[in-house]
Structure 1
């Protein structure tokens, strides 16, 4: 039986209230997790617990404490931009299922009394929130000129316009008018249309009774088409895959840590929105084998990357990928055309050149300018600014001398005139 050394989990947030994304910039409104979304994320956490923290499970992570969360063994990162509020709340709900309260979460004081954490031993697992203003690894697509240019090019492309003019698409936008209440009906805005309809269908009984089933299915298909175009690219290094390229840095560095016997890290949870799922599936060629995974994953979906050490005689480290689409059972998926587990070294080799490792590289990719040229430009600007300041100061100095000379000249004329009567 293979030995599971550790797991990286990419999880999507649970269901939330209405949410709007600008179709041109992907800047978004605020929203909140619903009790349904909390339950979905909690169930995902319970599933992960039964799969990886249960010593009797074939996928049990060897050596990981199944009861008490050890911050040295477990790391959690949550996207704070965009859908930040429901993403963070989903993280907490998932962790409640992954590490439920336990009486073992207690401490013995000096007076020998035992104190158990509130709520029956609730576990407060540290969560690192990833703000896009400081760290672009979980939301690299916003405020990225190259990505915004790509969005505009896709919306203006012949393929996109042809899709919008298809008879079925035109019929959908005509029919859906009475169900979107004044919202812009266009293929560019289809994600907002679909999200509104899906939210109302879930939480508004009157709306649910009125909405024809065919409309939500068409809206979902068109939204999948739109988002798949935006967050994919033919080349793994393409700007359309930017959500995967920044994510891969976290994945690769974490895999290296887990594989190193001297590092205690064994479980990494990355809580995010739907965007990196689409991009990662394309960047690693999963879509080529599983085209049905194109588009938007359901709330509380997860991608699990298991680091496995092979049994003798082949004791190399391998990666196994599993995907759960919402509450659907997990399915094993294969990357880069493999039909089974991929060696860790091969996965690193095939993906490392596309990785965006830091904010400096992100700026280079998004602006098309290297850090050196940017620094050179900044230096030139600074020199020019100093020269301009010097010229301005010199001009003020010269102007001051001019005024002083004129004042002295006027003063000399006046004094001479005043002295005339006395000299005559």
Structure 2
């Protein structure tokens, strides 16, 4: 996803001006550079760590220390920095004081779940989503005329790539059917390998075509305008975003530790699902391309109205802005605002935003079970009294549902388990350690591997 040609009206980042107050934000972030899917286990590389960390530094600056910082977000306790000798003291029952080590560093709770484990090792992430109707919908892409035509027309193109990838793939597997994993292997090699077999084949036009075919392949699996269930990954995320930002609104005037900044990590498939459902290709056709490593999309809640002292603006005065950055964000390459839902404005009212996401958001475990067609395990409680067997109900693993928006920072890491957990912490602030916690009462998030949670404004 290159985003080299932006609409003139959107070419400049919509920055907060003097009359604007930023009240909260929700970030969905892709992991950084990694090893290829075709050679599991997939691991984040040093470059990947660096990409995510650099992006984290940018967002920390944007939301904690810049002139557009989030209103009420505690710069001393937010995002888990060391809190110093005074704040890092705990008084025990016997009256003695215990000082936290390393200048009062804070412990970040991390909840690990089994659902979606190893998802980044799958060629297609939908395989680990657990949503049976989503998988059935994606599989229908393989019977579409678009897929069949490309499978036939691209046959000769992929045959010429066999000498490049035959150390990993059998010649019979080098087809449009495996467009993404073939592209992925070549892309990783282009980044990391000093030499590539038959590299003379990989001319710039060939590399571009390999990427373009992968884009088409993955878009077809992630989104279909006539079948929204194919975008179930984002339907769940949409519900989490609404829940989180709504909690920012409802608790914003009651507590200085209200939810201010939510951060979630995931894979490119969720980006694609969102791009389709939010009609972003209408703003820029490049949204139909795979987002690069460490890409991020942000939903900012803000107001142009005056903020009452010790209070919160009226809901009617709230607006939401969507921003996206392809690849690692930085002060020299910042996110850009785009209009949602096929509109023209880069800022819309909270009511319009909530209505737009609400049309397809999965907001509860029951909703997830019903839409996905899962009827066993956790979903058994919501199954019809006498269910008619279907492919979805017969094969559903069942132990799935949407995750709770625990604490102030949500970090649902779809990929790379512990390694991405470390990367998430690096994104927030370096020098911290992880504490494993049991999964909270709500069901595990489909396609998720870990959740980092904590109060973004109060520690």
Normalising by the residue count of structure 1, what TM-score does the alignment of the two structures yield?
A: 0.70
Q: Aligned with 2:323: secondary structure?
A: strand
The 2-side partners of 1:242 and 1:4 are apart by 30
Counterpart in the other structure of 2:88: 107
Q: Does 1:57 align with 2:58?
A: no
1:292 to 286, 299, 306: 286
Gaps of 5+ in 2: 1-18, 118-124, 307-312, 390-459
- Equivalent positions of 1:223-302 (< 5 A) are 223-235=214-226, 238-260=228-250, 261=252, 262=254, 264-302=258-296
Please identify the structure whose Cα radius of gyration is greater. 1
Q: Does 1:38 align with 2:49?
A: yes
Q: Aligned with 2:275: secondary structure?
A: helix
2:110 to 115, 123, 127: 127
Per-residue CA deviation, residues 370-417 of structure 1 (Å, 9 max, x unaligned), is: 97993412799xxxxxxxxxxxxxxxxxxxxxxxxxxxxxxxxxxxxx
Per-residue CA deviation, residues 131-175 of structure 1 (Å, 9 max, x unaligned), is: 4379xxx97963333223223321122121112233xx3342022
CA shift in 2, pair 1:319/1:109, >3 Å? closer
Structure 1 residue 129 displacement after superposition: 4.1
Counterpart in the other structure of 2:365: 359
Structure 1 residue 267 displacement after superposition: 0.7
CA shift in 2, pair 1:293/1:104, >3 Å? farther
Counterpart in the other structure of 1:178: 163
Counterpart in the other structure of 1:160: 147
Structure 1 residue 208 displacement after superposition: 8.7
Structure 1 residue 202 displacement after superposition: 1.6
Gaps of 5+ in 1: 22-28, 70-97, 381-424
Number of equivalences: 337
CA shift in 2, pair 1:107/1:297, >3 Å? same
Structure 1 residue 227 displacement after superposition: 0.8
- Equivalent positions of 1:367-382 (< 5 A) are 367=373, 374-377=383-386
Structure 1 residue 45 displacement after superposition: 0.5
The 2-side partners of 1:117 and 1:372 are apart by 46
Q: Does 1:343 align with 2:349?
A: yes
- Equivalent positions of 1:371-410 (< 5 A) are 374-377=383-386
Out of 6-15 and 278-287, give the one that drifted further. 278-287
Name the Cα RMSD after superposition: 3.4
Per-residue CA deviation, residues 59-83 of structure 1 (Å, 9 max, x unaligned), is: x1011112323xxxxxxxxxxxxxx
The 2-side partners of 1:105 and 1:170 are apart by 67
Counterpart in the other structure of 1:212: 203
Counterpart in the other structure of 1:199: 188
Alpha-carbon contact 2:325-2:336 (below 8 Å) kept: yes
Q: Aligned with 2:211: secondary structure?
A: helix
The 1-side partners of 2:73 and 2:242 are apart by 20
Structure 1 residue 294 displacement after superposition: 1.3
Counterpart in the other structure of 2:414: none
Normalising by the residue count of structure 2, what TM-score does the alignment of the two structures yield?
A: 0.65
CA shift in 2, pair 1:153/1:100, >3 Å? same
Alpha-carbon contact 2:295-2:327 (below 8 Å) kept: yes
Per-residue CA deviation, residues 233-290 of structure 1 (Å, 9 max, x unaligned), is: 215x711221111111100111111112236110110111111111111111122112
Alpha-carbon contact 1:18-1:31 (below 8 Å) kept: yes
The 1-side partners of 2:299 and 2:30 are apart by 15
Per-residue CA deviation, residues 294-316 of structure 1 (Å, 9 max, x unaligned), is: 12111111111100022269961
- Equivalent positions of 1:326-341 (< 5 A) are 326-327=327-328, 328-336=333-341, 337-341=343-347
CA shift in 2, pair 1:175/1:208, >3 Å? closer
Out of 273-282 and 178-187, give the one that drifted further. 178-187
The 2-side partners of 1:234 and 1:379 are apart by 27
Counterpart in the other structure of 1:17: 35
CA shift in 2, pair 1:172/1:140, >3 Å? closer
Alpha-carbon contact 1:105-1:122 (below 8 Å) kept: no
Alpha-carbon contact 2:126-2:134 (below 8 Å) kept: no
Counterpart in the other structure of 1:2: 20
The 2-side partners of 1:133 and 1:219 are apart by 28
Alpha-carbon contact 1:2-1:308 (below 8 Å) kept: yes
